[in-house]
Chains A and B, each alone.
Chain A
Amino acid sequence: MTRYWQLFRDSAFLYRFKRDKVAIVSFAVLVILVMLSFCAPLIAPFDPYDPTQIDIMDSDIPPVWQAEGDPRFRLGTDAQGRDMLSTMLYGTRISIIIGLFAVLLQSLLGIALGLVAGYFGGRIDSFLMRLADIQLSFSTLMVAIVVLAVFQASFGTELYNELAIFMLIMVIGIAEWPQYARTVRASVLAEKKKEYVDAVRVIGLHPRRIMFRHILPNTLSPILVISTVQVANAIMSEAALSFLGLGMPVNKPSLGSLINSGFEYILSGSWWITTFPALLLVVLVLVINLLGDWMRDVLNPKLYKD
């Protein structure tokens, strides 16, 4: 273990991270956001899920620096009287959870299918890749809207609200597997021609072991890169779906549903309900994408700049 730690400490990866200000700042912001949102129950001034802490009389209070601001609610309250800061912290947590698990599901599906397609080739490959092409020809949002709308209509809003988080993870996870499958397949095609794969085939290892033990670890860098970008994409998809009213319910809002709920009031003067969650969403997605871009540059040996 210490040997791996030593290797990491001496690696070009860490060396270049320490010399890239954008990467350091993005990473720091991301860590802060993740920490804050996952510590939400400890640090948030209110619990937005607890109806006893919500008073309808507190609704639509602007941020504290405005004339009618209330010192209890630093960033103001929404139309139901929930503290914006607390709701945003909880909402960020939901958004990040959905993003991470959706990407986990995508990667499991995509890596397995991509490995199989790339390693075995031939008909299996053609079949899986055509399937991926078909899947990609529907946009993720379209598939998600159809599935979620049908689910909501057939099982009722109440059940839907309970299962919303799982449904979102499933839908976003399944809709985006071709991204992984294609990337993994391309790397597998390059790796399986190398002689170390022939060497283990000569030993007689089972194809499954060759794929997962030998080829997969050598395709990790592109997987790592698309994973970061896909987390950002999944968070955005979730926000878009919530904005369209097909995402997280109002009583358990994610960043997207918060933006949506404030959108009705934006013209009546309550700009803060939409603006703060939107800014938070932009920052969150931006830092993840910046990190992903940086990682892609570092892990691609053809792009050594300095």
Chain B
Amino acid sequence: MNADRPESPQVLLRVENLSKEFPLTSGLLEQLRFERGRLVRRQESVRAVNGVTLEVNRGDALCVVGESGCGKSTLARVVMGLIKPSRGSIYYEGKRIDDLPTEKLLTYRRKMQMIFQNPYASLNPRMTVKQTLEEPMRFHNPDISREELTHKIIEVMESVGVDPGWNQRFPHEFSGGQRQRISIARALMVDPEFIVADEPISALDVSIQAQVLNLLMEARKQRALTYLFITHDLSVVQHFGTRVAVMYLGALCESAKTEDLFGDPRHPYTQALLSAIPRLDQSRPTHIKLLGEVPTPINLPSGCYFHNRCQYATDRCRRETPNPILTGDSHWVACHAVEEGRIK
């Protein structure tokens, strides 16, 4: 399993069977319980990500969508190495990176960068823009000259649309949109090829959202970037993504090219999700109403995680976890009903 396996060159990042659990009961005393007169040790955990397998091709903008709490952000953090995965592995250009020691990870730190959700927390309030921007560059190129560094900062600040003359200012002197631009600039400083963006526009004003989104798309074209874009906003996905992966309760339901997924959603959850997009041209809404609540990730349902809210659920769905199957041109669906041909 540990062996680096050769990969088709267009696959930049592959995530295999990735799971992440957060223990709720960390101490031994919290784990001990009395059950039927006996002392048992039970460990409870939040199962945030459950066996996600995912490929990101070079040049793709893969959007991961899902409700809040479905493990999108955890997936992003695990991919970036901010949290260690509980199980599974992550490959970058065919090399396994999730078990690398810190020093060996540094080469990948240059290639992978992250943009965060909250522009008010993602910049150090005590550092000027210049200090924030030059830190990653200095760290990864210790012998860069002062002129080169200044030049690079000016270039990156201009490309994200922030006046380079403002580089002596502190984050609190900027608006949310400007801060997010500076965050993007920080990620671009080391010339990465892969960027994980964790809901980068959801904390912004609607008017600013489009600007920042266009900025990200421009950067993708100019710098040949690959994105893993976490969002819950389906209109953003349609505008931005080349591929979409739909998550429910920490597992992938469906992944496909954007136009395939929006044109022909296969998984019942995706269908329900897409039917919830408000449309102007429909006189009568055709919402698929899901019953009940999202189950808690502490006690996951057996079998398919979606079975208790799915109108197509059968006994098999209650027992057996579905594996993703290929149903078209790189269109993966994890659903027994689709596999058995009960849907369409």
Contacts and interface: CB of A to CB of B under 8 A. Distances in A.
Counting from the closest, the 3 A-B pairs by CB-CB distance are A204-B109, A195-B122, A195-B116
Interface stretch (B56-64, B123-131, B256-264): B123-131
Contact of B118 (A195, A204, A205): A195
Contact of B136 (A3, A7, A196, A203): A203
A218 B116 contact: no
Contact of B124 (A3, A196, A201, A202): A196
Contacts of A201: 82
Interface of A: 3, 7, 194-196, 198-205, 214, 217-218
Contacts of B190: 203
Contacts of A205: 135, 139
Nearest to B113: A202
Interface string B131-173: 0000110011000000000000000000000000000101000
21 contacts: A194-B122, A195-B121, A196-B122, A196-B125, A198-B82, A198-B114, A198-B116, A199-B186, A200-B124, A202-B80, A202-B82, A203-B135, A203-B139, A203-B140, A204-B106, A204-B109, A204-B139, A204-B140, A217-B124, A217-B126, A218-B125
B121 A194 contact: yes
Interface string B32-43: 000000000000
Contacts of A200: 124, 135
B117 interface: yes
Nearest to A216: B126
A198 B183 CA distance: 12
A244 to B, nearest CB: 43
Contacts of B77: 198
Contacts of B112: 202
Contacts of A196: 121-125
Contact of A218 (B109, B124, B139): B124
B106 A199 contact: no
A3 B168 CA distance: 8
B140 to A, nearest CB: 8
Contacts of B122: 194-196, 198-199
A194 B117 CA distance: 11
B105 interface: yes
Given A195-B122, A218-B126, 9 more contacts: A195-B118, A196-B123, A199-B114, A199-B183, A202-B82, A202-B109, A203-B190, A205-B139, A214-B124
Nearest to A7: B170
Contacts, number: 56
A139 B343 CA distance: 74
A196 B118 CA distance: 10
Which of B124, B168, B190 has the most C-beta atoms of chain A within 10 angstroms of its own C-beta?
B124
A165 B35 CA distance: 62
Contacts of B127: 214
B126 A199 contact: no
A196 B140 CA distance: 18
Interface string B90-105: 0000000000001001
Contact of B105 (A204, A214, A217, A218): A204
Contacts of B118: 195
B138 to A, nearest CB: 10
Which of A196, A198, A214 has the most C-beta atoms of chain B within 10 angstroms of its own C-beta?
A196
A7 B81 CA distance: 37
A201 B77 CA distance: 11
Contacts of A202: 80-82, 109, 112-114
Contacts of A217: 124, 126
Which of B77, B102, B114, B190 has the most C-beta atoms of chain A within 10 angstroms of its own C-beta?
B114
A196 B114 CA distance: 11
A195 B135 contact: no
A112 B139 CA distance: 23
Contacts of B125: 196, 218
Contacts of B183: 199
A201 B121 CA distance: 14
B326 to A, nearest CB: 33
A196 B112 CA distance: 16
A80 to B, nearest CB: 53
Interface in B273-306: none
Nearest to B27: A126
A199 B136 CA distance: 10
Interface in B208-247: none
A198 B121 CA distance: 10
B173 to A, nearest CB: 10
B73 to A, nearest CB: 11
B327 to A, nearest CB: 36
Nearest to A194: B121
B196 to A, nearest CB: 9
Contacts of B123: 196, 199
Nearest to A206: B102
A217 B124 CA distance: 9
B195 to A, nearest CB: 10
A77 to B, nearest CB: 53
Contacts of B140: 203-204
Nearest to B192: A202
Contacts of B121: 194-196
Contacts of A218: 124-126
A113 to B, nearest CB: 22
Contacts of B106: 204
A200 B105 CA distance: 14
A203 B77 CA distance: 13
Interface string B62-86: 0000000000000001001110000
Nearest to A198: B82
Nearest to A193: B121
A3 B129 CA distance: 14
